[in-house]
A = this chain, B = another copy of it.
Amino acid sequence: MLTRDDCARLDAQDELSALRDEFALPDGVIYLDGNSLGALPKGAVATLSKAVEQEWGQGLIRSWGEAEWFSLPERLGDRLGRLIGAAPGQVVVCDGTSINIYKALRAAMEMRPDRKVLVSELGSFPTDLYMLEGALIGADGYSTRLLGRDDDDIANLLDDQVAAVLLSNVDYRSGRLLDMERITRQAHEAGALVIWDLCHSAGVIPLELDAIGADFAVGCSYKYLNGGPGAPAYIYVAERHHDSARQPLSGWWGHAAPFAFESSFRPTAGIRRFLVGTQSILGLKGVEAAMDLFEGVDMQAIRRKSRNLCDSFIQLVEQHPDCRALRLASPREAEERGSQVAFDFAGGYAVVRAMIEQGVIGDFREPGIMRFGLAPYYLRFTDLFDAVEVMADCLRREVWMDPKYATRETVT
C-alpha cells in the first residue's frame, strides 16, 4: 500500500521539486492534463508583457531586427532541439502540427517519387490521418497502409513501394511508446523515410532524433512543452535532407532572399525552407518563455520522475477499493509508456467531469478512456494521492447516473 505519508516522502526526495515554483498554478486545482495544455510558466507573464508593451508598442516595426523577431523560429528551434536530440540548425518553430505534417509528407513523397504507398497507424491522433488524406489529393496512384488495420507489425507493412511512414511515438490515448530506433531502422532498410509525430513525448521523454537517424519530426509546443494555448508547432528535418527536401507551402519566409522580392521561389539553404510566412510573434514568445524554463533541465531526471509518477498513480488507483471498476488502458511497464496513464471505464466521461468540478483536472477520450497526463515539472506525489481520493469519491457517488455529469457536451 502506498500511503499519503509515502507520497510526502517521495515529494521530499524529489530532485525536481524546485521546478514547481516556476509555474503559476491555480489554487485548489490538481492538474492532470499536462498532455492537453501545459501550465503557465511564471516567466511567460513577463516575457509576453515585454513583447506586447515594449517590443510591439514601443519598438513597432523596428523590433523585427532589434528584438530579433525574424530569427525567432530558428533560435527557438535550436533550443527545442536540445530536448529532442537534434543538433542546431535542424528545427524551426512555426505554424501548427497539422501543417508541418503536410510539409513533411509532401517533401517525403517528392524524395521517393517511385514509391506510391504511405504508411501510418489507424490509432493515430486523427489529424495525422486527415493530413495524409489531404496530401494525397491530386496525387495519382497513391495508397495508404495502416498499422492496426492492415497489419499489427510495422515490418509487414514495409516494402519497396513505401515512400514514407508517419507515426506518433506515444499513443495519444493509451500512452503506449513505440520503439523509434527500431522502426526508423526498419523503414530505412525498406528504403522509406520516417516522419515522427512527437506531440505526446517532447518535453517528458528524452528523444534522440539525430542518434537514431530520424528523417522528419513534428510536434506541438503546448502540451508538455508548456508553450501556451495553441502555441506554434515545430518541424525537424535532418540536415542530410535539407538540400533535397522541398515542401509546397513555399512562402516568402522560406525564400533564399526574402527581402529581395524576386518573382520566383528559390528555397533558402537549411531548415528555414520549411517556414512559410510571418509567424505569430506573441505565440512564439510563449514558446520562448517555456524554453527559458527548460534551460538546464536534465531530461533524464524528467523521465525518471515521470515514470515514478505514473507507476505511483497506477498503484494508487489499483489499490483503492472504490476504484476496482477501472481497467488500466496503458502499458503496465514504464518502459513501454509515455508520461500518461489511461483507465477504461464505461462511466469515465461523467467521472472525469465530476473530478474536474472538484478541482482534479483530467481528460476524456471516447468511448471510455479517462486520460491523465502527468507533467513531472509541477506535479507532486501527494497531488496524485489526493486526486485518487477525489476519483474514488466520484466512483462511490456513481456520478454516471447523474445527467449533470453524464450528458455529453460538444466541446470540453
Hey, which bits of chain A sit against chain B, CB under 8 A?
24-26, 29, 31, 33, 36-37, 39-40, 44-45, 48-49, 51-53, 55-65, 69-70, 95-99, 102, 106, 110, 122, 125-127, 129-131, 133-135, 137-139, 220, 222, 228-232, 246-255, 259-265, 276-286, 356, 361, 363, 365-366, 409-412
Contact = CB atoms under 8 A, between A and B. Distances in A.
12 contacts: A44-B52, A45-B53, A45-B57, A48-B48, A49-B49, A61-B361, A96-B276, A99-B276, A110-B137, A129-B264, A134-B248, A282-B283
B220 A278 contact: yes
A251 to B, nearest CB: 3
A228 to B, nearest CB: 6
Contacts of A129: 263-265
- Which among A24, A60, A106 has the greatest number of chain B C-beta atoms within 10 A? A60
B96 A411 contact: no
A139 B106 CA distance: 13
A125 B260 CA distance: 11
A317 to B, nearest CB: 21
Given A96-B279, A98-B251, A131-B250, 4 more contacts: A40-B56, A126-B261, A130-B251, A130-B265
Contacts of A280: 228-232, 280, 282-283
A229 B55 contact: yes
A250 to B, nearest CB: 4
Nearest to A71: B411
In order of increasing CB-CB distance, the 3 nearest A-B pairs are A280-B283, A98-B251, A98-B277
Contacts of A252: 98, 125-127, 130
A206 to B, nearest CB: 25
Contacts of A37: 56, 60-61, 64
A163 to B, nearest CB: 13
